[in-house]
Amino acid sequence: MIESSRVLVTGGAGFLGSHLCEKLLESGAEVLCVDNFFTGQRANINTMLDSKNFELLRHDITHPLFVECDEIYNLACPASPVHYQFDPVQTTKTSVLGAINVLGLAKRLRAKVLQASTSEVYGDPTVHPQPEGYWGNVNPIGSRACYDEGKRCAETLFFDYWRQHRSRIKVARIFNTYGPRMKLNDGRVVSNFIVQALRGEPLTLYGDGSQTRSFCYVDDLIDGLVRLMRTPDEVTGPINIGNPSEFTMRALAETVIDITGSPSEIVTKPLPEDDPKQRRPDISLAGETLGWQPTVPLREGLIRTIAYFDALLSKGSPELARP
């Protein structure tokens, strides 16, 4: 990316998108943030609105977009089960029609385009850790399929545009990421545990808590995406971006209780449908190709994230109002 680049970020007011917009502005780029505010929040981008190099466009990428840019980061899609299962048809449309629209725009402009894919393309994996060559174990008709299969189809479209039109594509498979600007009521495990602990409520553990995840701090993740975009055109991915340090859900809950000093107890509920038993990225390719590896340990990242959530709770954020 050169300093005069104009960069389009779809989903730019979301958790990851807002951090990416911030990093791009710091690098000297002009940033066009596109969001329909289904899960994105204006508060995430408030500090950027006064920048002469930042522009906000309210738009749903299931509809074509006619703008000018040099690079496109396609991050638009609800990413937590609570939100992507709220309107599963729209979730699939966002992944599939959104990919078609950004790829069509990139084709016209000969722009680089990066797809924010997901570790969910691996489903409930039978291979551990998951390398990029693993094809996955996904239930195509389950309640999570709108997200899993939508992202898989988006990857298909990206590679077909690359083969058929020589489009300049990049595909990143993002593993669990956390940090400031997560929606506090988004249903993801890190935010759930932190909010429950800060309120002194029981932490809800699904199953026996032995299922594992690998958690990447947001700053590390954004660094990986930018590095991937800056690679030569022949580097297409898919490339796993995530932290390979693996933790059980019970260990995560206990760590959050310890950091917050909360009196909360841990309670258990049945596992949701198709909930993966384990998830850990093989990041060998990211190391070799991008010179990238995560640097923020889980405890340090949790301390920063808890401080952010604690501040919002102290302000009485309307987002936290119980139904």
User: Is the model more confident about 82 or about 16?
Assistant: 16
Residue 35 sits in a domain of what CATH number? 3.40.50.720
| Residue recorded with tokens 């693993």 | 134
Which residues have C-beta within 8 Å of that of residue 311, sequence separation ≥ 6? Answer: none
> Which residues are marked as active site?
147
Domain housing 129: 6-175+218-243+279-295
Confidence of residue 321 (pLDDT cuts 50, 70, 90): very low
Residue 105 domain flag: yes
CA distances from 142 to 122, 132, 288 (A): 14, 23, 35
Residue 188 domain flag: no
Query: What is the Cα–Cα distance from 97 to 103, expressed in whole angstroms?
Result: 10
- pLDDT for position 320: 44
Residues 32-91: tens digit of each pLDDT: 999 999 999 999 999 999 999 999 999 999 999 999 999 999 999 887 777 778 789 999
Residue 252 domain flag: no
Residue 141 domain flag: yes
Which residues have C-beta within 8 Å of that of residue 136, sequence separation ≥ 6? Answer: 121, 122, 123, 125, 152
Residue 21 domain flag: yes
Query: What is the Cα–Cα distance from 187 to 81, expressed in whole angstroms?
Result: 7
The rounded radius of gyration (Å) of the Cα atoms in the chain is: 19
What's the number of domains the chain is made of? 1
Residue 197 domain flag: no
Q: Is the pLDDT of residue 323 over 60?
A: no
